[in-house]
Amino acid sequence: MPDPTPTQPPRPQAVAQPLPSTPSSAGAPGTSVISKALKITGQLESSENIQIDGEVDGDVKGVHVKIGQSAKVKGTVSGEEVEIAGTVDGKIEARKVVLASTAHMSGDVIHQDIRIESGAYVDGHVRPENAKPKTTASTFKPAVLEKTGTGAA
Amino acid sequence: MFALKAKPASRADAAAPVSRLSPGLLVRGRVETEGELHIFGRVIGRIDAGILFLAPGGLIEGDVVAREVRVAGRLIGRIFAPTVDVGDGANVQGRIFHHTVTVSRHARFEGRMPWRPPSFFENLGQLPETQP
């Protein structure tokens, strides 16, 4: 006779869903995301990229630093490349600087390459780092006047 | 003052964006968010969060105040959270003030785990001094 008791399927065990795993370090460098709900009071230093949409009261140092439109940073922002679409009250030191149209910058900008979009607010000293003059003493060569004959009659 | 207030977890946490501190990041100071925070890097200081996940390889040195804490990395300090999960590979040194706690058999823990009622976390203003 068949067993009247139907076999119960195995009950799935309740397990917590794993949170997103860390990305592989062998690929592109990771990006820290400071969301608009996050506030940091202190120093940030990263060997990777940083995207800030929240609030930071302190210095920020990364490779590619992106300050979002809703972000507010009070401190020095430094990196290889810095893009600003939000508010920065402090100094920027980067090889490449991009100030978007929504940027609000109060402080000095030290750069080697800069792009400022129409609409950006900049209140500070914008100057290139290690600026090279176009003409130097070593490259300047005065014109040499050729001596002609005395023209004796 | 950051006092944990009981509120519907799913809607509140779903609305707040998730923040992520990558492996190469070091933060010295205080980190505050009502939402979810994933730490793969290092934080030296106090953390106030809604939901906190300390990933493998991550490091926290300081106090953590949150509604829910999941530890899979290294933590030296104190945790104040109603719900705490110490998972595989976690290395915790300090105190875990909790209402419910889960510790994996593959976790490493050294310290104390004082139980507290939910009201303790709702009225948490000034953090208590660590008892000797």
Who's near B98: CB < 8 A, 6+ residues apart?
B79, B81, B82, B83, B84, B113, B114, B115, B116
Backbone phi, then psi, for B14, in 5-degree steps? Answer: -70, -30
Q: What is the pLDDT of residue B20?
A: 96
Tell me, yes or no, whether A6 lies in a domain.
Answer: no
Q: Distance between CA A127 and CA A45 in Å, rounded?
A: 24
In a domain, A137, yes or no: no
State yes or no: pLDDT of B125 exceeds 90. Answer: no
Confidence at residue A132, expressed as pLDDT on a 0 to 100 scale? 54
Q: What is the pLDDT of residue A152?
A: 47
A30, B15 Cβ separation under 8 angstroms = no
Report whether A86 contacts A72 (CB < 8 A). Answer: yes
The structure tokens listed for A12 are: 């799935």
CB contact under 8 A, A48 and B18: no
In chain A, what residues touch B23 (CB-CB under 8 Å)? 22, 25, 30, 48
pLDDT tens for A91-144 read 999 999 999 999 999 999 999 999 999 999 999 999 998 755 545 555 555 656
Range of the domain at A65: 31-125
Q: Is residue A141 part of a domain?
A: no
Question: pLDDT, tens digit, for every residue of A2-47?
Answer: 555 566 665 555 444 444 444 333 333 589 999 999 999 999 999 9
CA angle A2, A4, A10 (to 5 degrees): 105
Residue B66: what residue type? Answer: A
Is residue B9 predicted with pLDDT exceeding 80?
no
Tell me the chain B residues in contact with residue A37 when contact means C-beta distances shorter than 8 Å.
16-17, 19, 33-35
Q: Rounded to an integer, what distance in angstroms lies between the CA atom of residue B13 and that of residue B51? A: 8
Query: Looking at the domain assignment, is residue A143 inside a domain?
Result: no
What distance in Å separates the CA atoms of residue A87 and residue A73, rounded to the nearest whole number? Answer: 6
pTM of the model: 0.77
pLDDT digits (tens, 9 = 90+) for B80-97: 999 999 999 999 999 999
pLDDT at A105: 97
Residue B115 DSSP symbol: B
**8 Å CB contact between B94 and B79:** yes
Q: Do B42 and B27 touch, CB atoms closer than 8 A?
A: yes
Which residue from A25, A33, A42 is facing B20, i.e. has the nearest CB? Answer: A33
Domain count, chain A: 1
Average pLDDT, chain B: 89
Place of tokens 């100057």: A127
pLDDT digits (tens, 9 = 90+) for B16-59: 789 999 999 999 999 999 999 999 999 999 999 999 999 999 99
